[in-house]
Amino acid sequence: MPELPEIEVVGRLISEATTSWRVRSSRVPAANTLKSFDPPLDSLNGRAIQGITRRGKHLLIAFEGDLYALLHLMSAGRLQIYPKRAAPRDRTSRLLLELEDGRELRLREFGTRQLAWVRILHGRYLERDEALATLGPEAWPDPPPFGELLNHPRWLNSVLRDQSVIAGIGRSWADEILHAARLSPFKRGKDLTEVQAAELREATVAILGRAIDHYLQVLSIPIPDKLPMPLQVHRRLGSPCPRCAEALHAVHFEDYEMCYCPQCQTGGKILKDRRLSRLLK
Ligand SMILES: [Zn+2]
């Protein structure tokens, strides 16, 4: 589940490894991964990579001549660089950019669904791209004050993950951030006090920054398929809370669970969980 810290570090590492190298050939083995048709994919051939940056949960590869590849890895995508004569491409391959030295930049996607996507864009259309134009301010390193930003009737776990409100946070880091700020995931954005809004902003910057530092220490090329996410709360149902040692609880949704500490976040209250109440019947 790559989110802001994972995308940031993968982008930096691959940028360092590929900048100024030219693309020899480009392919999209899964044709529906490419969500644009003009300029065509092969217009990247012969162009040097100028760098890779992150926008929210997107990666942006800049090529000489003002061309860009905008990538979204969705929940199961990976961007990796393979050495010359590396293991053969497999069914996870979505976009393949062979570099002039024989290495290959691969967008891969695990699982059965094809959700990761790529668009090739001219620089002049970049800011108008629907994915980028709708992004809220970056959650890290310096987001605007949260009081106004999160002033929303929806609950915090949902508002923090809304990319048009604030860009970069998903399910994993939302759990970690709300735990660090000692706030209930079901508190409404508009009910934050000034102090809580300030503390939540501080927790967001600190937690994401710490995760980035962690990855910079433990990751290098080749980037592993499974990133060592330093999570303490998310997907830790039943584990002791890292702050108070009480057992962490969770609320289950159709395809994910939201973890929290009742002691630290909800004033001791156990939130209603449909799955749990069904099991207890
Ligand atoms: Zn706790």
Residue 127 burial (CB < 10 Å; 0-12/13-18/19+)? exposed
Q: 27 CB contacts (<8 Å, ≥6 apart)? A: 41, 95, 96
CATH architecture of 4-133: Alpha-Beta Barrel (3.20)
**CA 145–ligand 1 middle distance (angstroms):** 26
**CA 135–ligand 1 middle distance (angstroms):** 32
Q: 216 CB contacts (<8 Å, ≥6 apart)? A: 9, 12
User: What are 168-206's pLDDT values in tens digits?
Assistant: 999 999 999 999 999 999 999 999 999 999 999 999 999
**pLDDT tier at 278, thresholds 50, 70, 90:** low
Q: 226 CB contacts (<8 Å, ≥6 apart)? A: none
pLDDT surpasses 80 at 85: no
What is the structure's pLDDT at 256? 85
The rounded percent of the chain whose pLDDT value lies above 90 is 89
Average pLDDT for 16-20: 98
**Of residues 87 and 189, which shows the higher confidence score?**
189
**CA 280–ligand 1 middle distance (angstroms):** 24
Residue 154 burial (CB < 10 Å; 0-12/13-18/19+)? middle
**CA 223–ligand 1 middle distance (angstroms):** 33
E strand map for 33-166: 49-55, 58-63, 67-72, 77-82, 93-99, 104-109, 117-122
**CA 242–ligand 1 middle distance (angstroms):** 7
What is the structure's pLDDT at 176? 98
Q: How far apart are CA 149 and CA 145, in angstroms?
A: 7
Q: Which CATH number fits domain 146-280: 3.40.50.1820, 1.10.8.50, 1.10.565.10, 3.40.50.2300?
A: 1.10.8.50
| Structure tokens, 6 | 């994972």
- Rounded to 10 degrees, what is the CA torsion of 213, 215, 219, 223? -140
**CA 8–ligand 1 middle distance (angstroms):** 29
Q: 172 CB contacts (<8 Å, ≥6 apart)? A: 1, 3, 229, 231, 234, 235
**pLDDT tier at 281, thresholds 50, 70, 90:** very low
Average pLDDT for 110-119: 93
**CA 7–ligand 1 middle distance (angstroms):** 29
Beta bridge partners of 70: 60, 119
Average pLDDT for 48-77: 97
What is the structure's pLDDT at 279? 52
**263 Rama sector, left if φ>0, alpha if ψ -120 to 50, beta otherwise:** alpha
The rounded percent of the chain whose pLDDT value lies above 70 is 98
What is the structure's pLDDT at 112? 87
**CA 263–ligand 1 middle distance (angstroms):** 5
**CA 74–ligand 1 middle distance (angstroms):** 31
Element (H, E) at 269: none
User: What are 149-162's pLDDT values in tens digits?
Assistant: 999 999 999 999 99
Q: Do domains 4-133 and 146-280 have the same CATH topology?
A: no
User: What are 209-258's pLDDT values in tens digits?
Assistant: 999 999 999 999 999 999 999 999 999 999 999 999 999 999 998 888 99
CB 273 within 8 A of CB 281: no
Listed by start position, the domains of the chain span 4-133, 146-280
How many secondary structure helices (H) and strands (E) does the chain include?
A: 9, 10
**pLDDT tier at 110, thresholds 50, 70, 90:** very high
**CA 139–ligand 1 middle distance (angstroms):** 24
The model's pTM is: 0.94
pLDDT surpasses 50 at 20: yes
What is the C-alpha R_g of the chain?
Answer: 20
Q: 37 CB contacts (<8 Å, ≥6 apart)? A: none
What is the structure's pLDDT at 228? 92
